[in-house]
Structure formats: structure tokens, C-alpha cells
Amino acid sequence: MTVFREFLKRTLKPWLIRSGLPLTRNMQYDRQAWLIMRRIIHDGDNCLDIGCHKGEFSDWMLACSPKGIHSGFEPIPELQTKLKAKYGQQMRIFPYALGKAPGKACFSWVKNAPAYSGLRRRNYSVEAPEIIEIEVEVKRLDDLVGKEIPEKIRLIKIDVEGGELDVIAGGASLIESCKPYILFEFGLGSAEYYDARPEAMFDLLSSLGLSIYTLGGFLKNELALSLTEFCKHFQDGSEYYFLACTNRN
């Protein structure tokens, strides 16, 4: 059954996302993200996939910009190995967790649900989570610029189970200088374990010259979210995936 389920994920899910017939909320977000990436990424643009997991977003980055320099970050050793084998020289895969301060940290790897893994434990929507604590190296995104990643980035995708605010804070100089599009997850159930509040996320992105949109709102050319609207989405869970970019209102 597990093998069959994995086969369906690899074959049926991508077709559903691209066909416009997503079956779940997460798949709807995936479809919206794919449409946004097709709209904003041009061949030669560079992208970052922070929290690669199995590489779904990395695949789309390569599809949209095969000549770009793309970098992925995935601290789980088992996933790192698979990603490196999958992409070879097409994409750089780094073993770091990203945050606002460099150093060593304890990382909670949820082996039977790796998508929930992160630098801090949280509530897990899975029965009997199998958690293995591993030591990882934490880097600041700004410290990698010009050394391991390009100075100009078009898109950053961040899905790190609550640590998104810390990742952005650690890459503030890069973000302020090149104003990338940022696809990021942010909501209750994970962010509060990092003491991350929507007001802090809104203020940080605003200070870097970026506004926040829902994915659907961006595709429909709607206005950017106000602080009140963003906080409401955070509190009631009506939206938990967002796009930050320069204000086009």
C-alpha cells in the first residue's frame, strides 16, 4: 500500500496540479504557486528552495529557468542524498538549516512525516510521530551571498515549519538589495513555536520594500494585504501560504 501511495503521489499529483483539478487545499496552493512561477520566472533567473523536501518546487524552478543557478536547502540527510542523486549538477543542494543566527542546532526530524520536521518541535498532524533529534548547521542566508549562492535572486520559496520569519531576518540584506519574490508558508500550528507573530512578519517584509499577497489574490491582480487582513488570515487559518513582492498597487 505504501509503495502504491508513493506511486500515485509521483504520477497523479503533478498531473492534477497542472490540469487545474487539485483535490486538496495544499494541492490548490501548489497549483497557484506553479502558475505564479510560470508568470514571474524567466530563463536565466536564479531561485532558492528553502526546505526542499522531495524537490517539487525545485522541479518547477528548473522547468521555468533551466539556465539559472538554483540552490536548495535541506538538512535531513536522507532527503539530501535523494535530492543530490536526483539533480546532479542541475541544482546545488546544501545541508544547512537557515535562520537568523549561525551555529549548531538540534533539528527534529519526523521520520514518518518528514514534511513536519524543523528546528523546533510542534504539534504534528500524524499519529505516533517518530522523532529523531539530529545536529545540524544553521546558516544565515546573507552570509552565503556571493560565496555559495548568487547575489541576484528572482524567487525564494520558504517552507520550514514555522521558522520562516527567522529565515527572512537572516537574509534581510539580500532581500532588500534584489527584491525577490518570496513564496512562504506562515500560520498557526507552527509559527507560534518560534514566537513568530504576523505583525512581526508584516513589519519586516514592509521594511524590506515588500508587500504581502495571497496566492490567489496575486493571480487575480488584487490589492496587497493590509496588516489587519494578514493577521486575520494568520489567526483563523483562512490562508497560510503567501507571496511577498514589491507593491504593484
Q: What is the dihedral of CA 26, 225, 169, 137, to 10 degrees?
A: 0
Q: Is residue 230 part of a domain?
A: yes
pLDDT band for 20, please (50, 70, 90 cuts): low
Tell me the C-alpha distance between 141 and 96, whole Å.
Answer: 10
Q: Is residue 133 part of a domain?
A: no
Question: 194 and 228 in contact (C-beta within 8 Å)?
Answer: no
- Alpha helices of the chain — where are they, by DSSP H? 2-19, 25-40, 56-64, 77-87, 141-144, 164-170, 172-178, 198-207, 215-219, 227-236
| Whole-Å CA distances, 180 to 81, 155, 210, 221 | 28, 5, 9, 18
The number of angstroms, rounded, from the C-alpha of 98 to the middle of its chain's C-alpha atoms is 11
Predicted TM-score (pTM) of this structure: 0.91
pLDDT band for 24, please (50, 70, 90 cuts): confident
**What's the confidence (pLDDT) of residue 1?**
41
Amino acid at 220: K
Q: Is residue 2 part of a domain?
A: no
* Out of 39-48, 124-133, 215-224, least confident range: 124-133
Q: Is residue 31 part of a domain?
A: yes
Q: Is residue 170 part of a domain?
A: yes
How confident is the model over 172-195, as pLDDT tens digits? 999 999 999 999 999 999 999 999
Summarize the confidence of residues 81-86 as an average pLDDT: 96
Q: Is residue 3 part of a domain?
A: no
Nearest CA-CA partner of 85 in 55, 119, 114, 56: 55
**What's the confidence (pLDDT) of residue 6?**
46
How confident is the model over 30-67, as pLDDT tens digits? 999 999 999 999 999 999 999 999 999 999 999 999 99
Which residues constitute the domain of residue 211?
A: 24-98+141-245
Q: Is residue 112 part of a domain?
A: no
* Out of 63-72, 95-104, 240-249, least confident range: 240-249
Q: Is residue 210 part of a domain?
A: yes
CATH number at residue 197: 3.40.50.150
Question: 94 and 71 in contact (C-beta within 8 Å)?
Answer: yes
Nearest CA-CA partner of 162 in 248, 99, 231, 93: 99
Domains: count for the chain: 1
What are the backbone dihedrals phi and psi of residue 34, each rounded to the nearest 5 degrees, phi first? -60, -45
